[in-house]
Chains A and B, each alone.
Chain A
Amino acid sequence: MIGKLFLTLATFALLHAAYSTYEHLSLLKALGKPEGSLPLDIVYESVLALIVGLLGASLNAPPLKDITWASEMKKRTIDGMDSRLGFAQYKSRGKLLF
């Protein structure tokens, strides 16, 4: 949940920074000096959005699984391994008994 919160915050921050840049550039264009540099706080906001977004994406990842065969085999059962579903017999005497 924290991960999703961070991700949404980071997205909003990034969009806000992008919109601020657009506004700033249009202001510069209106004032007649289109070559001005970007104000520092927009840069800080984008970098902050990157860091918070990284944190959010890492926290939002699904739970990790083991990589060894042994750990996967611990979760299986004998019935699952021996089920031979291609040869399974679907006709039993259950209908006559029950």
Chain B
Amino acid sequence: MSLQSALEQLAAHRIKNTRASQDVFRNGLLVLQKKGLKKLGDDGWTFLEQLTLASIDVGRLDIADQCLQLIADKFPNSPRVDCLTGIRIEATEPPETALKYYADILEADSANAGIWKRRISVLRRTGKVEKAVNELVQFLDTFYTDVEGWLELADIYATCNQYEHSLQALTHVLLLTPQNPFYMLQAAETAYTAEDFPLAIKMFLTVVDMTDGDDSEQLLQESTPLGITVRAWFGVKLCARRIAQNTNMKSPSNTSLPKKVELLDELATERLRVAYSSSGQKGEIAKGRQEVFAWVAAPLA
């Protein structure tokens, strides 16, 4: 395992925002041992921040303290360093200590977004969900464009089974990131859980359009759905079933029903069959193929 590949993997994790703490910790430790820190130059500080968070997540507080000391020495009065110190306090001290630390910083500078988010996260973890929601709504009033905040609000509402409010928060996410099919899929699934089936089927079809509509060379019949497109087709099939069972259904968001539900159902069935028929490596059969085929073959209403 070379230094170069470790650095590349760490950069990929930074870009994709994944929380792969064990992988980051392993690669980061390799970089530290092979003294790759000087090679990174200015990027080295983001790498140290990434390694600090991963070490705290994995439980190796000794490495975390080392990295945190290096960063704090270089950037003494930085709000980002305050966030890291706060996270370190959260990891070992009782939550009241962490909350007091955050309250002190917010008194000095009440618009510190990072610290505010940490405070909301501690409130949610200790079970004060209502207070967390109130603070989060205040935070989002101040910082409207924070997609993470809206996603967190949607998540909190969903865990409390308030799916309509979750859907409302997700509509703000869709406004802020209209090109992202993952958030549209989350909104579609939330709409389905909130029993708004016409809206859900429209959103699932939009996801298919966003992820599959790029193949201009291949006809739709020839291409195989992959990734979240398969999940979206499952959603279309589920919604089509529900709509066919109750053709006079009222949508809470006043969305109109699709006119040809049977055709949509047929299309979804065919796409799922294609997705699960494609052979993977060495011609092996896709997992769960028999179950999927049996399920899609069941009659509509």
Interface set of A (CB-CB < 8 Å, partner B): 68-71, 73-91, 94-95
Contacts and interface: CB of A to CB of B under 8 A. Distances in A.
Contact of B180 (A73, A85, A89): A73
Given A74-B227, A78-B228, A87 B18 contact: no
Given A69-B179, A70-B214, 17 more contacts: A70-B181, A73-B180, A74-B227, A77-B18, A78-B228, A80-B16, A80-B18, A82-B151, A83-B19, A84-B152, A84-B155, A85-B53, A89-B121, A89-B124, A90-B91, A91-B90, A95-B59
Given A78-B228, A80-B18, A94 B182 contact: no
B213 A70 contact: yes
Contacts of A76: 16, 182
A85 B17 contact: yes
Contacts of A86: 114, 117-118, 121, 148-149
Contacts of A74: 211, 227
A70 B121 contact: no
Contacts of A77: 16, 18
Interface string B42-76: 00000000000100110100000000000000000
Contacts of B214: 68, 70-71
B83 to A, nearest CB: 9
Nearest to A78: B182
B234 interface: no
A70 B223 CA distance: 16
Nearest to B215: A70
B293 interface: no
A91 B125 contact: yes
Pick from A77, A84, A94, A95 the residue with the most CB of B within 10 Å: A84
B181 A82 contact: no
Contacts of B29: none
Contacts of A69: 179
Contact of A90 (B56, B114, B151): B56
B210 interface: yes
Nearest to A81: B182
A76 B179 CA distance: 13
B126 to A, nearest CB: 10
A70 B181 CA distance: 8
A90 B120 contact: no
Nearest to B59: A95
B194 interface: no
B183 interface: yes
29 contacts: A68-B214, A70-B211, A73-B179, A73-B180, A73-B181, A77-B16, A77-B18, A79-B18, A80-B17, A81-B183, A82-B151, A82-B182, A83-B18, A84-B152, A84-B155, A85-B17, A85-B19, A86-B117, A86-B118, A86-B121, A87-B117, A87-B152, A88-B121, A90-B56, A90-B57, A91-B90, A91-B125, A94-B59, A95-B59
B186 interface: yes
B105 interface: no
B87 interface: yes
Nearest to A72: B179
A68 B57 CA distance: 35
Contacts of B213: 70
Contacts of A87: 117, 120-121, 124, 148-149, 152
